[in-house]
Amino acid sequence: MTTIDDTPWRRALRAYPPSWRARHGEAMLGTLLDEAEARGRDEPSRGERIALMRSGLAVRVLGWMPRPAREVLATVSAATGVALAVMFAVFSGFEVRMDWRLPPEGQNPDLQASPGLIGAGLWAIAFVLILCDAARAARIALAAASAAGVGALVYAQIDPLAGPRAIVTVTLTVVALLALLAPVRARVAAGATAAVTTGILLFLHLAFEVPPGSPSDAIWTRVLTAEFTGLLAGAVWVLALLASIVRARTVARFAAGVAGVWTIICLIRLTMWDVATGMLGLAVAVAVGVVGVGIFRAGARWGSETHPREGAA
């Protein structure tokens, strides 16, 4: 048994919540001390402190959400994000930038690439990596996509004509962060969700005709309105409920994930339109979620009480 003073390592483990330390703290402490003794160190290195702090904060932030729920939400977010990124790249990635402050002869009639194409390309790379079962590399690409989204948002403040609009960058960045909640390993579910989502968005884009010369990101401003995203989220929530009633648990899980992502997109849209409305929408969504979880738990308790295990007294 090692004789190294464990105080510095115990301090480093304080980044983890007390409940986690009570279950796993001693085992991790023993591993850290054994490795330190093998390397002849008396205290954690700077890299180890940073790694422990980062992972501890992640446990604190994500501790409220069970891992299966995180995995479903990450899978659905990755699929939804790549569908939105593809739609943006195809329909708004190359456009003529019209500056109405200049006379017609001063306009540039050539198609120009949007800075948002960088993020869209990273999204495509990340999703290909997911389908190739390279989850770790995909997470790096998703992190780069979120950083590219922030960079495009900043650049759009400098050159508004370059685009993309804030709703594009904010939505894709938030969805990328949701996709980083857990490694995406359900490749079939991710591919199916991405294909269906892309098909729906493509149909709606063609159904809601966007005239040539419309502002950049017309699909977001014409089709993905707060009303549309709210209606889509509600419809998928109903699908998740029906799937749970017929005990199609896998379908219900992923449908609930899709509905959750579109609810978040709707709240983003509401908040960017009006902060007070967005906060009200968030409060309503949280209230409905709390009531739904309460009903689910009550039903589970009722089921266990009315259908006891075989052989129970």
pLDDT tens, residue by residue, 286-295: 776 666 656 5
For the ranges 71-80, 174-183, 194-203, 206-215, which has the lowest average pLDDT? 206-215
Q: Yes or no: say if 7 and 29 are a contact pair by the CB < 8 Å rule.
A: no
Share of the chain above pLDDT 90, in %: 14
Give 128's pLDDT tier (boundaries 50, 70, 90). very high
- Nearest CA-CA partner of 201 in 60, 110, 89, 109: 89
Give 216's pLDDT tier (boundaries 50, 70, 90). very low
Q: Given CA atoms 27, 30, 36, 38 in this order, what sign does their dihedral have?
A: negative
* Separation of alpha carbons 190 and 176, rounded Å: 14
Q: What mean pLDDT is predicted for residues 168-195?
A: 89
More confident residue, 311 or 30: 30
More confident residue, 124 or 271: 124
Q: What is the DSSP string of 93-123?
A: SEE----TTS-GGGS--S-EE-THHHHHHHH
Q: What is the DSSP string of 141-170?
A: HHHHHHHHHHHHHHHHHH-GGG---HHHHH
- Nearest CA-CA partner of 200 in 84, 73, 119: 84
Given this model, what pLDDT does residue 311 score? 46
* Separation of alpha carbons 30 and 13, rounded Å: 12
Residue whose entry in the numeric block shows the structure tokens 């939505």: 171
| Residue 75 confidence (pLDDT) above 90 | yes
| Residue 303 confidence (pLDDT) above 60 | no
Given this model, what pLDDT does residue 52 score? 81
- Residue 95: strand pairing partners: 112
Q: What mean pLDDT is predicted for residues 243-254?
A: 86
Given this model, what pLDDT does residue 294 score? 60
- Nearest CA-CA partner of 15 in 48, 55, 45, 62: 55
Given this model, what pLDDT does residue 300 score? 44
- Nearest CA-CA partner of 179 in 79, 104, 247: 79
pLDDT tens, residue by residue, 97-124: 655 555 555 555 666 777 888 888 999 9
Q: What are phi and psi of 113, to 5 degrees?
A: -75, 140
| Residue 268 confidence (pLDDT) above 60 | yes
* Separation of alpha carbons 215 and 221, rounded Å: 9
- The answer to pTM > 0.75 is no
Give 1's pLDDT tier (boundaries 50, 70, 90). very low
Q: What share of the chain is helix, strand, coil (3-state, %, to 5)?
A: 75, 0, 25
Q: What mean pLDDT is predicted for residues 270-285?
A: 76
Q: What mean pLDDT is predicted for residues 59-79?
A: 82
Given this model, what pLDDT does residue 110 score? 64
**Inter-helix orientation angle 116-131/135-158, to 10°:** 170
Q: Yes or no: say if 262 and 229 are a contact pair by the CB < 8 Å rule.
A: yes
Going from the C-alpha of 282 to that of each of 229, 277, 289, the distances in angstroms are: 14, 9, 10
Give 96's pLDDT tier (boundaries 50, 70, 90). low
Give 83's pLDDT tier (boundaries 50, 70, 90). very high
What average pLDDT is seen over the chain?
78
**Token pair for 35:** 């490795």
CB contact set of 10 (below 8 Å; sequence gap of 6+): 29
Given this model, what pLDDT does residue 201 score? 83
